[in-house]
Amino acid sequence: MTKKEKADFIVKTLDKLYPNPPIPLDHKDAYTLLIAVLLSAQCTDVRVNQVTPALFKLADNPFKMAKVPVEKIKEIIRPCGLSPKKSQAISDLSKILIEKHNGNVPNTFHDLEALPGVGHKTASVVMSQAFGVPAFPVDTHIHRLAYRWNLSSGKNVDQTEKDLKRIFSEQLWNILHLQIIYYGREYCTARAHDVDKCIICSKVGRKMMNK
Catalytic residues: 121, 139
**Dist CA 54 CA 166 (whole Å):** 41
- The most distant pair of C-alpha atoms in the chain lies apart, rounded to whole Å, by 57
List all residues 6 or more positions away from 121 whose beta carbon is below 8 Å from its beta carbon. Answer: 137, 138, 139, 157
Residue among 66, 162, 73, 166 at smallest CA distance from 120: 162
- Residue partners of 68: CB distance under 8 A and separation at least 6: 58, 59, 91
Give residue 122's identity as a one-letter amino acid code. Answer: T
- Among left, alpha and beta (phi > 0; psi -120 to 50; other), residue 81 is left
